[in-house]
Amino acid sequence: MASLGARQLDHYERRLHAEGFDRIAGVDEAGRGALAGPLVAAAVILPQGFGVEGLRDSKLLTALQRDRWFDRIRAAALAYSVCRVFPRRIDARGLHVSNLALLRRALYALDVVPDFVLMDGFSLPGMRFPHLAIRKGDVVTASVAAASVIAKVTRDRIMDRYHRRFPEYGFDQNRGYGTDAHRAAIVRCGPSPVHRMSFKGLKLYAQDVETYAALYGAAVPAGETVGGITDDETRTSTGKGEGT
């Protein structure tokens, strides 16, 4: 059997089409390990014959390439959906539970019912669709790579909006992930309403600010104070329309 590196990205989809499956959905999420901002999941059903040359896992594409694929995928997809869960809900339910529920919700939100689902890494208990969980699914399957692009671009645009409201944290660069500069900004300004207070480090901040400052308070240019923001609990977008 050919190695994964030698296979075309739509290898799994073509095999499934040959076995009689027509509507193959890929599902993936973005933002799982971030300290701030939403967790975003997307599900995509690509049409047979969709050109995948140049498509990759979203993390392997440049921002410009992601934007181009984002537009192309949304224009061509038989169906796509985007679901979001925001920090307050993640803190209340936990990351793993929130992630599984969000992936499942993205699949059920599709306007076209899939007859097979491909996903990255782990399966979803209790899901009614036939499915296959593939290690590094966003790297080796076209449908999951497409879902990763939709989720990543959607989330990045949300973080750009948060950056305009909270420029001190550098969300336009770190996308909410725990860089040294981001953690130092938390020392200076405290957490914002879009930080996930249940995450490691931020729990420490809530319990012992002085210890947190000693660990993460590197000298960086001072930012502005935190303002307020409405933390919507969850949102969903579906279909061939607006997905952000």
d(Cα 149, Cα 236) in Å, to the nearest integer? 17
Q: What is the pTM of this model?
A: 0.85
For residue 239, give the nearest of 75, 80, 47 by alpha carbon: 80
d(Cα 228, Cα 91) in Å, to the nearest integer? 18
Contacts of 82 (CB under 8 A, 6+ apart): 40, 41, 42, 106, 150, 151, 154, 236, 237, 238, 243, 244
d(Cα 195, Cα 34) in Å, to the nearest integer? 9
- Answer whether residue 71 is part of any domain: yes
The residues facing 236 across adjacent strands are: 83
Q: Look up the domain containing 203 and give its range.
A: 166-216
Whether residue 146 is found in the same domain as residue 173: no
**pLDDT digits 0-9 by tens, 93-119:** 999 999 999 999 999 999 999 999 999
CATH number at residue 155: 3.30.420.10
Whether residue 198 is found in the same domain as residue 113: no
d(Cα 172, Cα 164) in Å, to the nearest integer? 9
Number of domains in the chain: 2
**pLDDT digits 0-9 by tens, 128-170:** 899 998 877 557 799 999 999 999 999 999 999 999 999 999 9
Other CB atoms within 10 A of residue 185 CB:
27
Other CB atoms within 10 A of residue 72 CB:
16
pLDDT-derived band at 7 (thresholds 50, 70, 90) equals low
Predicted local confidence at residue 218, as pLDDT: 59
DSSP character for 168? G
- Answer whether residue 46 is part of any domain: yes
Check: CB of residue 182 under 8 Å from CB of residue 218: no
**pLDDT digits 0-9 by tens, 38-86:** 999 999 999 998 999 889 888 889 999 999 999 999 999 999 999 999 9
Whether residue 152 is found in the same domain as residue 51: yes
User: Phi/psi at 186 (nearest 5 deg)?
Assistant: -65, -35
d(Cα 22, Cα 31) in Å, to the nearest integer? 30
Whether residue 130 is found in the same domain as residue 170: no
Whether residue 32 is found in the same domain as residue 128: yes
